[in-house]
Structure formats: structure tokens, C-alpha cells
Amino acid sequence: MKTLTKMLAMTSVLALVGCEGEDGKDGTNAVSSSQTPAATSLTSTQLANTVNNPWYIASAQRVEDAKAQAAAIAKSAGQAKNVILFVGDGMGVSTVTAARILQGQSLGLNGEEHNLSFDKFPFAGLVKTYNVDAQTPDSAGTMTAMVTGVKTDVGVIGVDEDIVRGDCSTVSGNELTTTLELAELAGLSTGIVSTARITHATPAATYAKSADRNWEDISDMPGAAVSSGCLDIADQLVKFESLLEGRYPGADVDGIEVVMGGGRRHFLPNDPAKNTSDAVSAVEGDRTDGRDLTAEWQATYPTGNYIIDQSGFNALNSEATERVFALFNESHMRYEADRNKDLAGEPSLSDMTRKAIRILDNNDKGFFLTVESGRIDHGHHAGSAYGALTETVELANAVKVALEETDPENTLIIVTADHSHVFTIAGYPKRGNPILGKVVAVGETEATKAADGLPYTTLGYTNGRGYMNLGDSETDADAAYSNPIDAGRKDLSLVNTESSGFHQEALVPLSSETHAGEDVGVYAIGPGAHLVSGTNEQNTLFHVMDYALNLISKAEKSLP
Amino acid sequence: MVRWSMFRAYCVAAAVLMLSPLGVAAECEVNADAIGAHYAISQPSGHTTALQLWRLGDRALQVRPEAKLADSYRSLSNGEVRRVRYFDAHQRAIEYDPEAADWSAKAQLLPAQALKKMQRIGSKGSGCKRIERYQRELADGQLTVWWNPALRLLLQLERRNSDGLTRIKLVDLKVDTTTIREAFAARADYVSTDYADIGDNESDPFLRKMIRVGFVEHAH
């Protein structure tokens, strides 16, 4: 053991003097020829071959880097000025791995050795995602856990497990306080960005309290809930400032500075006269109370910018913009792969992230920002690995933007998922095999055949709609819903499984592929990031953010 | 027999047009984008069902009363078509993403390209009451279509093959815009869900049924 330690030390010296060579092999020879101390239990050649190997050197360096970063981060624990929480909706571990390979291969690499932006974060762990009443969770319960510190039931927003789903009368008294609300009370700027409808479960959990995730506007609510005084989710977003001040008497907050996403239909009355230029429905708005919440928001914040399209987004001067309310689509925003087909144009997730940070960082006190990649989940539900993975790559791009736009010494960035999907990387494909391709075994050039004599893809789903070949021109994963379910094995011999319109085989036939119940990853960098390690209950993430910002204490001080 | 059948088809189509408030001018002044056409579809087995086609501007609605299903379509400025399926028995709707599609197939039942591939073998009348007859030989039979070009309206379609005769026949025509608007408005209050969202709605009995057993083609 003592000898091994000496050997490792010698390796470091050789690396410093540049003797290890680019591939590590030259260095191996140098160690074995003249400078290797005598080994007592292992031969010098065996050890040198290990410690001079480039894989070994790179991973050892990663540990050294992590130790250095840990020391620096521990010193600044609790000193974060900003927190950014990235949530990849449905981004399980297999999704991260496959997206990493896809991005790497798009860069001309084998792919497996590539790293997504957040793969390089110094701290990571696992998250147990179950809801209080569900082994396999949904986004409402999981995001509520992340931003409140309290696990709750499936399908409910911002309330604890004492809620009865769908029963308005059980909301009162069971409301939880979120990270975003605490940040508001503490005087930080706040922002919510999502590619889903901004009233969808994940973004809604940051600002709303609802007995049902589907109460996105008043037309979605039962009459009894409306008459009992429960507010729909869109209404709660527009009234966020007054509602928060009502819950905390004496509080004086200034409201959410950045809201960007889809879901215009929940804010507009069901009046065709209120349709916007890229409405896809004959009547875009769903609201049956006649209210135009976009107009109400503008009346509340006359200096704020309400925008609906790419040109409005481009015109925003982030240094001069005090507040923005952006609803880029009637429903969910387009898939990244399909974005150029939008009628009025939509920004990408990374574009929105950059703009949001540049607006929020105008506040010297700091900011809290949630960024959701909402359509990874939808790509998987539709059985499209291409759709889900290209969304994940764009999330990684957005994280890269956040790293570029912030200072790691004062900004905690957490990247995680709310839940996983039944998505697998299977078979024994050789290194560098196209991740969307058919399995080709090590040393082979032709696709491996299964016991049924047919080739099979590396990526697949346990359940869902199954095989579809919609071609290279189809970039909308949801086009699958216009085609019949076709689960089970198919002859893929002549099918280009790497095309954007290919949907993977599925075993169990379902109209929509489902979530999965295994743990998801969490990745962190910045002050407080060292608290992210091991296997965690999902609600622990709230406490990491609270610790980094000292949020509860700051919020308490703001109250009379 | 065939000739008698064709003559009878002409007479039926002419009768529907004659009974409709279409006017007799040489130039048709009826708005072809505001139409309600009711069809009877008969299968070789003798089974007959109804189909309604409603058009209003950039919208089309196809109603299948026996199945308690309806599909609405909207033509978008980028050439895509947006579909919503209505389940009348449940008063629910499922919304699809816009996609590239042949608008004429949704708004006329008969795609414009299909008509171009057929041979015109006769015509009668003028304006709103003009009837054109087209025919095409198929690998396993013959397709005959009676068509009104001014209204872009399928009057009758017959497909004969070894299984027998399948017929789609116009039985009623509405041009009153109030009636047409009411047809489109009838399902406006249904609870509607994006298809992309149904996977997140396991607790909803209607959507759970969709997730587990597929599209509810025959809603009860």
C-alpha cells in the first residue's frame, strides 16, 4: 500500500514534467525504465500501466479538481447571491446519458466520453422522486417537494398531503411556502421560465396553490370550486404579488420580474376577437369569465413588457427591462427541433435563460430563477427519443448559458429532474455506435439480430405507442398521436431509426408512454452545492437552496 | 343496371340541390366556405351510417353521430392543419398539434388531388346547381364521383368492387350561416386536453381509459 502511494505520487511528478505523453503510453515506458520504486506486492509494469493511462489521469484530475472546488465552495456556504434551479421534466438518468452521447456524436465524437454542461458540475447525487401517495410520481407533487421542502400528493400544487385532490375546501390551511415566494419576501428578483405552458404543473408549483394541477384556468374548474373561492392557476400568477402580501400581512413584495413560457389560452377570454396572430384554435382563449389576464397584468405593471413572439423578445433591452410577461404559444411552446415552424417565432430555452438572467441580475440583492425544460417529458410520452433527447441537449445549452452569465462564486446552479421515464439504453452496441441507431456489436459492422431474427435499436421504451416511421421531415414528436398504436417488435432492417420522425418500439401498448419510478440525478455548482451528494428525498433540495441563500432568515427579516 | 344506378344518383343529387336555397343564377352566389352537408354512408353489407360535414371559413367539422365522435379542423396560415377530436358521450375533447395535412381532404372529404386523377365523363346544369360526374378505374373495381365545383361539394361517391357497393350520398344541404355557426359552437364547452398532456393525467377516468386502452373510437 505504501508503495502504491509512492507510485501515484511519482505519476503526478511525471505529469508535471510532461513525461507521460499525450496518450499516456510514453510515460508508462519512462516509469518502468528508470524511475519506478521497487514494488513489493505488484509489479511496477502493472501499476505504471494503470496510473499512466489517460483515463486514469483524467479521472484522478477530476477528483483533485473536485477537492479544490469543495474547499472553495465550503468557505462560501450560505453566501449565495443567486440561485438557478433547472428542471428537466422527465429527464431520468438514461435520458441524460443518451443526450450526452447524442450531443457528443453531433460534435463528431464517439459520444460516450462527451459531457453535457452539467455533467462537469463538481457535486451530484440521486433523488428519490416518489409522491406521498404514489410510487411513480407526477410533476405537480415532485416540483412542490423541490420548492417547498414538503413531499405531497400526486396532482396537487403548492399544498401538503392533507389536501383532497379536486376539493377546493381542503386548500385553505394546507398551503406551503415556496422558494420563489421566500425570495420575493427577501427582496430578491424572481423569474420562471418554461417551454411548457406557464400554468403547467412544474412552473405552477413555484407560485400557485391548487387542489388540482389541471385547474389552469377557470373553465377547467368545477363550479363548486369557483363558487368556494378557489382561484385558477393563471389567475394566481397574475395576482401573485397581492396574494403573497395577503398571506404575509405587512409584507411588501414587488412581484415576479420574469415570466416566460407558453399557455396563452389560459389567460385570454374565449372570444375570437382576442386571438393573437399565431393562434391555432379558432378561439384561442379558454377563459369563461370574460377576463383578459394579460390586460390585467399590464394594468398592474404599466411599465412591464407583455410579449408574444420572437420579435417582441428580440426587442427587449435586458438592462432597461424592469419586468416581462412572455406567452409565446397558445399551449406548450414548440419542441426545439420543431421551433422554426412556429407561426410567430419563439425563442429557445437557452435564449430565454440568457435574457432572464440579464434582466434579473439588475437587482443588487440577487435573484431566484426556475428554468424548466418541459418538453423532454412530452417527447418521451410520445415515444420519441429524438424529441426527448434534443430537448435535453437544449437544456444543457441553457445551463451552459447560465454558467457563462453568472459568477460561480455567488450563484448556486442546481440541475435535476422531477421524475424519470420508462426509457432504456439496451443491448451491447459498440463504442461510438449512433445512439439513435440499431445495435451493432463490438467488432461488427452489421446490426445485431435478436432471437426473433430482427435487428433492434439501442433506445427503447417499456410502454407507449410503439414503432412509427414518420420520416426525416417530421420534427414534432406529438405527430405520433395522429397515428395508431403499434407496440411490439417490428422489422427495422430497412428503417432509418436515426431520423427525427422515428419512434422507438415499446413493449406494453399504451396511448401515452409513462413516467418511471427510479431515482433521478441532481447536479450542483456554486455556494451550497457541496450539500448535494448521496441519495436524497426530493424535498431536500429546498433546504439546499435555502441554505445557499439564507432565504428563510432573509424573508423573516423583511416582515414587520 | 349500372346506367340506371348512375341516373338515379344524378337525380338524387339534383334533387338535394334543387331543394336547397341555392338560387338559379348562372354564377353561384352561395359562399362555398359556409356549408353544412349531411351524408348517408352505406356499406356493401347494407349497414348505413351518417356523416356531417360543416365548413365555416378556415374551419371544417366532421361529425359521426353513431360513433358519438366529431373532428374539427382549422387551416393555419403556414399550411398546417390543427385537429381537435370531440367525444360527445363524455363531453370531452382532445387537441392535436398542428401538422402538415391536405386541407381539401378535411374540408371537402374528397382531396382535390384525387379528383384531378379522375376522368370527367359528364356534366349538367350551371352555377350552384352544376353537377359533374367523374370516374376512375381501380385495381379492384371502379370509383364514380358526382361533384359540384362551385360549392366544392361532394354530391355522391360510389365505389364498386368484389365486396359490393360502398356509397356516400348527400342527403341534405345547409347554407344558413346561423345553423352552421351553431354546429361549430355545439362542442365549445367540452373539457379539452392536449394529447401531449394525457400521459400526466392518470387520475382522470376518461384520460386513464385513453392511456390504457387507446383512443376511445367508440365512446359510450
Chain A residues 124-163 with a CB less than 8 Å from chain B = 138-139, 154-155
Residue A169 CA to residue B172 CA, distance in Å, equals: 51
Residue A199 CA to residue B117 CA, distance in Å, equals: 48
In the block, residue with C-alpha cell 421542502:
A149
Which pLDDT value is given to residue B174?
95
Which pLDDT value is given to residue A289?
97
Residue A389 CA to residue A421 CA, distance in Å, equals: 12
Please indicate if any CB of chain A lies within 8 Å of the CB of B126.
Answer: no
Whether residue B165 is predicted with pLDDT greater than 60 in this model: the reply is: yes
Mean pLDDT to the nearest integer, A352-373: 98
Cβ–Cβ under 8 Å, residues B151 and B32: yes
Percent of chain B with pLDDT over 90: 70
Mean pLDDT to the nearest integer, A232-259: 97
B5 Cα to chain A: minimum distance (Å): 37
Q: Over the Cα atoms of chain B, what is R_g? A: 19
Whether residue A16 is predicted with pLDDT greater than 90 in this model: the reply is: no
The gap from C-alpha B73 to its chain's centroid, in whole angstroms, comes to 11
Compute how many other C-beta atoms are within 10 angstroms of the C-beta atom of residue A138: 26
3-state secondary structure of A196: strand
**β-bridge partners, A261:** A327
Which of A500, A107, A157 shows the shortest CA–CA distance to A336? Answer: A500
Contacts of residue A343, Cβ cutoff 8 Å, sequence gap at least 6: A277, A278, A280, B76, B77, B78
Cell of A284: 384561442
Weakest-pLDDT range from A7-11, A358-362, B30-34, B216-220: A7-11
User: How distant, in Å, are the alpha carbons of A206, A367, A538 from that of A180?
Assistant: 6, 9, 17
Which of A264, A266, A410, A416 shows the shortest CA–CA distance to A343? Answer: A264
Whether residue A32 is predicted with pLDDT greater than 80 in this model: the reply is: no
Which pLDDT value is given to residue B35?
96
Residue B182 CA to residue A171 CA, distance in Å, equals: 39
Cβ–Cβ under 8 Å, residues A500 and A386: yes
Taking an 8 Å cut-off on Cβ atoms, the answer to whether A282 and B74 are in contact is yes
pLDDT band, residue A10 (cuts 50/70/90)? very low
Which of A146, A355, A373 shows the shortest CA–CA distance to A257? Answer: A355
pTM of the model: 0.88
In the block, residue with C-alpha cell 385547474:
A215
Predicted confidence (pLDDT) per residue in B44-96, tens digit: 999 999 999 999 999 999 999 999 999 999 999 889 999 999 999 999 999 99
Cβ–Cβ under 8 Å, residues A17 and A23: no
Whether residue B218 is predicted with pLDDT greater than 80 in this model: the reply is: no
Which pLDDT value is given to residue B213?
55
Please indicate if any CB of chain B lies within 8 Å of the CB of A513.
Answer: yes
Please indicate if any CB of chain B lies within 8 Å of the CB of A214.
Answer: yes
Which pLDDT value is given to residue A22?
34
Whether residue A186 is predicted with pLDDT greater than 50 in this model: the reply is: yes
Whether residue A2 is predicted with pLDDT greater than 60 in this model: the reply is: no
Which pLDDT value is given to residue A269?
98
Cβ–Cβ under 8 Å, residues A379 and A477: yes
Cβ–Cβ under 8 Å, residues A432 and A438: no
Compute how many other C-beta atoms are within 10 angstroms of the C-beta atom of residue B216: 21
Q: Which residue of A has its CA nearest to B59?
A: A282
CA dihedral A496, A499, A503, A506 (to 10 degrees): 50
Whether residue B205 is predicted with pLDDT greater than 90 in this model: the reply is: no
Taking an 8 Å cut-off on Cβ atoms, the answer to whether A155 and B203 are in contact is yes
Please indicate if any CB of chain A lies within 8 Å of the CB of B99.
Answer: yes
Taking an 8 Å cut-off on Cβ atoms, the answer to whether B192 and A378 are in contact is no
Please indicate if any CB of chain A lies within 8 Å of the CB of B190.
Answer: no
Percent of chain B with pLDDT over 70: 84
pLDDT band, residue A13 (cuts 50/70/90)? very low
The residue with greater pLDDT, A277 or B213, is A277
Residue A337 CA to residue A390 CA, distance in Å, equals: 7
Please indicate if any CB of chain A lies within 8 Å of the CB of B198.
Answer: yes
In b/e form, how buried is each residue of A377-413, taking b as 16+ CB within 10 angstroms? bbbbbbbbbbbbbbbbbbbbbbbbbbbebbebeebbb
Mutate to test the interface with B, among A277, A512, A514 (most CBs of B within 10 A): A512
Weakest-pLDDT range from A130-134, A321-325, A417-421, B127-131: B127-131
Predicted confidence (pLDDT) per residue in A408-422, tens digit: 999 999 999 999 999
Residue A153 CA to residue A322 CA, distance in Å, equals: 36
Please report how many Cα atoms fall inside a 13 Å half-sphere around the Cα of residue A53, on the Cβ side: 9
The residue with greater pLDDT, B122 or A18, is B122
Checking phi first, is residue A290 left (phi over 0); if not, alpha (psi -120 to 50) or beta? left
Helix or strand (DSSP H, E) at A112: none
Whether residue A284 is predicted with pLDDT greater than 50 in this model: the reply is: yes
Instruction: Pick A381's closest partner by Cβ from B59, B99, B196.
Output: B196
Checking phi first, is residue B36 left (phi over 0); if not, alpha (psi -120 to 50) or beta? beta
Taking an 8 Å cut-off on Cβ atoms, the answer to whether A280 and B192 are in contact is no
Contacts of residue A324, Cβ cutoff 8 Å, sequence gap at least 6: A257, A258, A259, A260, A304, A305, A306, A307, A316, A355, A359
Whether residue A324 is predicted with pLDDT greater than 90 in this model: the reply is: yes
3-state secondary structure of A261: strand
Q: For chain A, first and last CA: distance in Å?
A: 62
What type of residue sits at position A102? L
Beta strand segments in A70-153, E: 82-88, 123-128
The residue with greater pLDDT, A183 or B206, is A183
Whether residue A309 is predicted with pLDDT greater than 50 in this model: the reply is: yes
A173 Cα to chain B: minimum distance (Å): 24
Instruction: Pick A481's closest partner by Cβ from B58, B77, B195.
Output: B195
Cβ–Cβ under 8 Å, residues B210 and A511: yes
The residue with greater pLDDT, B87 or B204, is B87
Q: DSSP character for A455?
A: B
Which of B127, B105, B165, B134 shows the shortest CA–CA distance to B10? Answer: B134
Taking an 8 Å cut-off on Cβ atoms, the answer to whether B198 and A220 are in contact is no
Give catalytic residues of A, as residue numbers. 139
Compute how many other C-beta atoms are within 10 angstroms of the C-beta atom of residue A108: 7
Classify residue B82 by burial, with Cβ atoms within 10 Å: 0-12, 13-18, 19+: buried
Whether residue B1 is predicted with pLDDT greater than 50 in this model: the reply is: no
Which pLDDT value is given to residue A283?
94
Predicted confidence (pLDDT) per residue in B56-68, tens digit: 999 999 999 999 9
Which chain B residues have a beta carbon less than 8 Å from that of A343? 76-78
Residue A13 CA to residue A10 CA, distance in Å, equals: 5
Taking an 8 Å cut-off on Cβ atoms, the answer to whether A138 and B200 are in contact is yes
Taking an 8 Å cut-off on Cβ atoms, the answer to whether A512 and B210 are in contact is yes
Complex prediction ipTM: 0.82
Taking an 8 Å cut-off on Cβ atoms, the answer to whether B195 and A201 are in contact is no
Cell of A390: 434534443
* Crossing angle for the helix pair A54-75 and A2-17, to the nearest 10 degrees: 90
User: How distant, in Å, are the alpha carbons of A131, A172, A188, A417 from that of A175?
Assistant: 17, 7, 22, 23
Compute how many other C-beta atoms are within 10 angstroms of the C-beta atom of residue B39: 21
Please indicate if any CB of chain B lies within 8 Å of the CB of A462.
Answer: no
Residue A351 CA to residue A363 CA, distance in Å, equals: 20
3-state secondary structure of B5: helix
Whether residue A436 is predicted with pLDDT greater than 80 in this model: the reply is: yes
Mean pLDDT to the nearest integer, A504-516: 95
The gap from C-alpha A136 to its chain's centroid, in whole angstroms, comes to 18
Mean pLDDT to the nearest integer, A7-30: 34
Cβ–Cβ under 8 Å, residues A257 and A324: yes
Which pLDDT value is given to residue A44?
66
Helix or strand (DSSP H, E) at B199: none
Cell of A64: 483533485
Please indicate if any CB of chain B lies within 8 Å of the CB of A397.
Answer: no
Please indicate if any CB of chain A lies within 8 Å of the CB of B20.
Answer: no
* Angle (nearest 5°) at CA B108 between B107 and B114: 125
Taking an 8 Å cut-off on Cβ atoms, the answer to whether A343 and B212 are in contact is no
pLDDT band, residue A23 (cuts 50/70/90)? very low
What type of residue sits at position A61? Q
Predicted confidence (pLDDT) per residue in A35-78, tens digit: 444 545 666 676 788 788 888 888 888 888 877 777 766 655 56
Which pLDDT value is given to residue A14?
33
Cell of B62: 366532421
Mean pLDDT to the nearest integer, A315-320: 97
Weakest-pLDDT range from A193-207, A351-365, B193-207: B193-207
pLDDT, averaged across chain A? 91
Mutate to test the interface with B, among A481, A486, A513, A514 (most CBs of B within 10 A): A481
In the block, residue with C-alpha cell 381537435:
B84
Weakest-pLDDT range from A15-19, A317-321, B46-50, B194-198: A15-19
Which pLDDT value is given to residue A34?
43
Could you tell me whether strands A520-525 and A123-128 are parallel, antiparallel, or unpaired per DSSP bridges? antiparallel
pLDDT band, residue B26 (cuts 50/70/90)? low
Compute how many other C-beta atoms are within 10 angstroms of the C-beta atom of residue B91: 12
Sign of CA dihedral A450, A452, A456, A458: negative
* Angle (nearest 5°) at CA B46 between B40 and B47: 60
Mean pLDDT to the nearest integer, A158-172: 96
Please indicate if any CB of chain A lies within 8 Å of the CB of B59.
Answer: yes
Residue A293 CA to residue B202 CA, distance in Å, equals: 29
